[in-house]
Amino acid sequence: MREKTIFERIVAGELPCNKVLEDNDFLAFHDIHPRAPIHILAIPKKHFKDFQEFDPELMAKMTLFIQKLAVLLGLDKSGYRLISNCGKNSGQEVFHLHFHILGGFELPKDKAEQANPQALF
Ligand code: 5GP
């Protein structure tokens, strides 16, 4: 049987988290290694390995959840970055779908965004 991911163990109450918002379907908590003054992870309680496997109907609900979270944190006004690493090449480490919500300062442009795809060929 597949071993539970850290985030499934958090949902099950087997591991602690610093919770910010929760409803029946989703949970949001502080990232253990924050890379911005505000760095929150939002996850569905149901297991999906990554974004590629996610249920579009649940994604619609998750959109509302993340928007509500942004208002709660005051990020709706100042802005934020929303990231979901998906699969090996993205550097995904925890294989339970999650969105990073980063904010609280002017975020530097990511190097990957500046990469020139032409240079790869
Ligand atoms: P990924 O690289 O998979 O997109 O991001 C995984 C994130 O989970 C990382 O930012 C990492 O700091 C965070 N993380 C890993 N283990 C834990 C944990 O036990 N608790 C919390 N709150 N965050 C974790």
What digits encode the pLDDT tens for the residues 8-35?
A: 999 999 999 999 999 999 999 999 999 9
Question: Does the pLDDT at position 111 exceed 80?
Answer: no
The pLDDT, as a whole number, for residue 39 is 98
- CB 94 less than 6 A from any atom of ligand 1: yes
Does 98 qualify as catalytic in the annotation?
Answer: yes
Distance 9 CA to ligand 1 centre (A): 13
93 Cβ below 6 A of ligand 1: yes
Write down the H helix ranges in the chain.
Answer: 6-11, 56-72, 75-78, 111-114
| Residue-range domains of the chain with CATH | 6-120 (3.30.428.10)
Within 8 A by CB and 6+ apart from 37, the residues are: 103, 104, 105
Reported pTM: 0.95
Index of the ligand 1 atom closest to the CA of residue 39: 10
CB distance 33 to ligand 1 below 6 Å: yes
